[in-house]
């Protein structure tokens, strides 16, 4: 009985909102109302309020496609477009498709044949019943976090001038696999010269040293949007049933193996940051106690957080390994004496 | 029409395909039946009676390596009701587009929704045979049946059978497994269970991770119990003795322990040690950071460099 109490405590602590199971009537989100969309386009409520769009709803399909595409690129950045519609202050992403462009650091924009591809694809889609318009673009930052680089910011500013409403989404497939949860961020830029009145609290993420300058210069020029996901009732049903076949993969996944070099990269990056921090701390003098500053963490505190994050991920991976070892290899342990029960007890209920 | 396939090919299906087909179907269905509560838009054509569930058609693409066929992705196709076939130029156009982004994937077959394979499907199937000599037919049953335990997805192949002296192509059912890459699994998991997406505390992450593994182990346990129950029944004599099943179970059991060698032990312990080392270093960093803060605070409280000199009590 403790497990149910534990679960309730955990849910309470983390403000888990139980999402009601979508029933067929709530699949209305899939309906594309052309006239309402056109009317919204004309009204342009976002023209006056730079902070108009606050939320993003991504469909299960779009998320899956984007993550799979991003991961298939490996360490190369990939990009694609998202199709969807708007709904008040939320942008709804129904589908996504990949673009055949190679991502490099100096790429400013998609080339000409990507435009052609976009037009062709949109046309064929409309015929096949996908009526939504392009509502944003996504690209991947493999291994270095979800934020907009300088080039990304200028691209998005351009998009927001001419193709409104437009959204920028960044996915990090490497961190997704390493952390076991989807690393995704949705952003909109402020127009040139606009200073946000309040400082939005953004979730801290670790940025590698070689990118940290690019991040810092531009991080005030855009704001993140909340992301929620939705799926249809049929999706729900299928995903539930999918679990019957899927549990094998969950058990057999080995994150330690898959992400070895990424973790090594992270640790070496952390070592460099540590050296920098050492220089900074050695030379600082303790001045008079000024007014209490904002929570500007010192370098060292940030490094501590990063190292804790890496460790937690590693420990998770190791736990999976140990559990698998106990489950499938412990036949030999039972042959030895029962005194040396070294590992944790298996979680199987009797 | 459906018997068991004998081609010997193994099929692997990615969850993306399933979600794709489901989305296509939901879209078409919802566009045909506009939701009753809409804003005052001009396109509401009155309240139409709920129409028959539409059949949607599309193409599946993937890779075939030897005897393994792996289905990665899919896209929609147009169905021409007059000729009872799929729109060919459209298919080729889409194929071109997809080739640009996924150059390794070939057309492996087609999909449709419905409860069972029908006669008219063979027509479409034959039309695709010039692209792929032995196309697949993936059928998804979109009716939601809460009592269902198994995925309502079936894969059919076509085989030439001699019926009444006439060689005919009929559909035969094949079995398949669900295959996935790590990233796909995580996103499917994420959407299926809507886990907390933000960082949360370390405790939350730990709980989420362990919950996933716990569910998987529970499944494993229940499956083993079913098998055990069946075997006990066989022993008692309630269930007729099936030698092939017994052989399979015996081979399964003989595979445990999974790996048992010196080298494995060494590698395993090395990995364990590496992780512990990382934990140790992180602890070190944490301690040094705390020490640093302590020293800072100490210096601020007992500032020896101030003009007044000596100690100023920290009020």
Q: In this predicted model, what pLDDT tens digit does every residue of A135-154 receive, in sequence order?
A: 888 999 888 888 888 888 88
Q: Nearest-CA neighbor of A122 among A110, A106, A134, A104?
A: A134
Contact B268 A325 (CB under 8 A): yes
Kindly report the nearest CA distance between residue B148 and chain A, in angstroms: 8
Contact B43 A98 (CB under 8 A): no
pLDDT value for A104: 53
Q: In whole angstroms, give the CA distance from residue A113 to residue B305.
A: 67
Q: Which two tokens stand for residue A41?
A: 């386009």
Contact B27 A60 (CB under 8 A): no
Q: In this predicted model, what pLDDT tens digit does every residue of A152-191 receive, in sequence order?
A: 888 888 888 887 788 899 999 888 888 777 888 898 888 8
Q: Which two tokens stand for residue B149?
A: 């335990």
pLDDT value for A294: 38
pLDDT value for B189: 77
pLDDT value for B195: 53
Mean pLDDT of B6-21: 83
Q: Which two tokens stand for residue B300?
A: 């601020």
Q: In this predicted model, what pLDDT tens digit does every residue of B208-221 receive, in sequence order?
A: 788 888 888 888 88
Higher-scoring residue by pLDDT: B51, A341 = B51
Q: In whole angstroms, give the CA distance from residue A216 to residue A306.
A: 17
Walk across the sheet containing B166-174 and list its strands.
Answer: B166-174, B153-163, B136-140, B106-113, B57-65, B68-77, B10-13, B176-178
Segments of chain A with pLDDT less than 70:
1-28, 46, 102-113, 196-204, 283-297, 331-350
Q: In whole angstroms, give the CA distance from residue B35 to residue A338.
A: 64
* Dihedral sign (CA A324, A325, A326, A328): positive
Q: In this predicted model, what pLDDT tens digit does every residue of A117-128 receive, in sequence order?
A: 888 888 887 777
Higher-scoring residue by pLDDT: B65, A20 = B65
pLDDT value for A85: 85
Contact A33 B41 (CB under 8 A): yes
pLDDT value for B149: 73
For strands B106-113 and B57-65, give the pairing. Answer: antiparallel
Q: In whole angstroms, give the CA distance from residue B314 to residue B305.
A: 15
Q: What percent of chain A has pLDDT over 70?
A: 75
Mean pLDDT of B35-54: 47
Q: In this predicted model, what pLDDT tens digit does every residue of B128-175 receive, in sequence order?
A: 888 888 888 888 887 777 777 778 888 888 887 777 777 777 788 888
pLDDT value for B33: 72
Kindly report the nearest CA distance between residue B196 and chain A, in angstroms: 7
Average pLDDT of chain B, as a whole number = 78
pLDDT value for B314: 54
Global pTM reads 0.77
pLDDT value for A218: 81
- Residue A96 near residue A83, CB atoms below 8 Å: yes
Mean pLDDT of B27-49: 55
Q: In whole angstroms, give the CA distance from residue A66 to residue A93.
A: 11
E strands, chain B, are 10-13, 57-65, 68-77, 79-80, 85-86, 106-113, 136-140, 153-163, 166-174, 176-178
The burial class, CB within 10 Å (0-12 / 13-18 / 19+), for B285 is buried
- What is the CA angle A127-A128-A133, rounded to 5? 70
Which residue in A117, A127, A231 is closest to B78 by CB distance?
Answer: A127
pLDDT value for B280: 93
Interface test with B, best of A32, A36, A58, A61 (most B CBs within 10 A): A61
- What 3-state class would DSSP assign to B250? helix
- Residues on chain A touching B51 (C-beta within 8 angstroms): none
For strands A222-230 and B10-13, give the pairing. Answer: unpaired
Interface test with B, best of A249, A279, A297 (most B CBs within 10 A): A249
DSSP string for residues in B113-139: ESSS--HHHHHHHHHGGGTSSS-EEEE
Interface test with B, best of A185, A307, A328 (most B CBs within 10 A): A307
pLDDT value for A169: 92
- Residue B188 near residue B194, CB atoms below 8 Å: no
Q: In whole angstroms, give the CA distance from residue A19 to residue A230.
A: 10
Which residue has tokens 């004496």? A337
pLDDT value for B178: 83
pLDDT value for A22: 43
Q: Over 80: is that where the pLDDT of B296 sits?
A: yes
Which residue has tokens 């003795």? B241
pLDDT value for B4: 60
Q: In this predicted model, what pLDDT tens digit does every residue of B74-100 receive, in sequence order?
A: 888 877 777 667 778 888 888 888 888
């Amino acid at each position: 009985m403790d497990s149910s109490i534990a679960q309730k405590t955990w849910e309470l602590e983390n403000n888990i909102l139980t999402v009601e199971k979508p029933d067929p009537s709530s699949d209305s989100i899939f309906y594309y109302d052309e006239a309402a969309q056109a009317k919204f386009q004309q009204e342009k409520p976002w023209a006056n309020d730079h902070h108009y769009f606050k939320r993003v709803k991504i469909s299960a399909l779009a998320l899956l496609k984007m993550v799979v595409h991003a991961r298939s690129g490996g360490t190369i950045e990939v990009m694609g477009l998202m199709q969807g519609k708007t709904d008040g202050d939320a942008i709804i992403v129904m589908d996504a498709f990949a673009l055949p462009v190679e991502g490099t650091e100096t790429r400013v924009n998609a080339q000409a044949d990507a435009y052609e591809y976009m037009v062709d694809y949109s046309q064929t889609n409309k015929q096949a019943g996908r009526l939504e318009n392009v509502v944003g673009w996504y690209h991947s930052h493999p291994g270095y976090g979800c934020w907009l680089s300088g080039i990304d910011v200028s691209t998005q500013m351009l998009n927001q001038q001419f193709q409104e409403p437009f959204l920028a989404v960044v996915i990090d497939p490497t961190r997704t696999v390493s952390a076991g949860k989807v690393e995704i961020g949705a952003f909109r830029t402020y127009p040139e010269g606009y200073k946000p009145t309040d400082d939005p609290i953004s979730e801290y993420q670790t940025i590698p040293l070689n990118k940290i300058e690019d991040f810092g210069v531009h991080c005030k020029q855009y704001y993140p949007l909340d992301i929620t996901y939705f799926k249809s009732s049929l999706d729900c049903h299928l995903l539930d049933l999918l679990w019957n076949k899927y549990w094998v993969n969950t058990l057999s996944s080995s994150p330690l193996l898959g992400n070895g070099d990424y973790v090594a990269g992270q640790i070496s990056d952390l070592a460099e940051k540590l050296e920098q921090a050492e220089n900074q701390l050695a030379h600082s003098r303790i001045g008079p106690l000024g007014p209490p500053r904002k929570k500007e963490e010192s370098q060292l505190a940030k490094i501590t957080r990063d190292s804790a994050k890496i460790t937690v991920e590693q420990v998770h991976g190791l736990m999976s390994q140990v559990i698998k070892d106990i489950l499938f290899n412990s036949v030999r342990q039972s042959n030895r004496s029962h005194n040396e029960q070294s590992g944790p007890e298996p979680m199987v209920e009797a | 029409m459906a018997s068991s396939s004998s081609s010997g090919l193994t099929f692997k299906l990615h969850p993306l395909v399933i979600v794709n087909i489901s989305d296509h179907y939901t879209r078409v269905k919802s566009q045909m039946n506009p939701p009753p509560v809409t804003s005052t838009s001009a396109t509401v054509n009155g309240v139409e009676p709920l129409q028959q569930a539409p059949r949607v058609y599309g193409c599946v693409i993937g890779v075939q390596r030897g005897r393994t066929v792996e289905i990665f992705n899919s896209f929609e196709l147009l169905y021409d009701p007059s000729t009872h076939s799929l729109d060919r130029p459209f298919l080729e156009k889409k194929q071109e587009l997809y080739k640009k982004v996924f150059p390794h994937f070939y057309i492996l077959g087609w999909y449709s929704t419905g409860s069972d394979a029908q006669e008219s499907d063979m027509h479409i199937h034959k039309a695709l045979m010039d692209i792929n000599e032995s196309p697949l037919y993936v059928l998804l049953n979109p009716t939601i049946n809460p009592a269902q335990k198994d995925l309502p997805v079936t894969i059919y192949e076509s085989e030439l059978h001699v019926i009444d002296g006439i060689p005919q192509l009929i559909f035969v059912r094949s079995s398949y497994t669900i295959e996935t890459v790590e990233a796909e699994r995580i996103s499917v998991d994420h959407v299926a269970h809507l886990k907390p997406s933000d960082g949360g505390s370390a405790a939350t992450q730990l709980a989420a991770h362990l919950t996933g593994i716990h569910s998987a182990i529970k499944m494993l346990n229940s499956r083993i119990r079913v098998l055990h129950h069946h075997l006990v029944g066989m022993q008692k004599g309630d269930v007729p003795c099936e030698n092939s099943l017994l052989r399979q179970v015996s081979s399964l059991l003989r595979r445990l322990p999974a790996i048992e060698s010196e080298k494995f032990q060494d590698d395993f312990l090395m990995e364990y040690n590496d992780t512990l080392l990382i934990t140790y270093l992180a602890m070190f960093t944490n301690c040094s950071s705390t020490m640093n803060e302590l020293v800072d605070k100490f210096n601020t409280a007992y500032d020896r460099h101030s003009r007044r000199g000596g100690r100023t009590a920290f009020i």
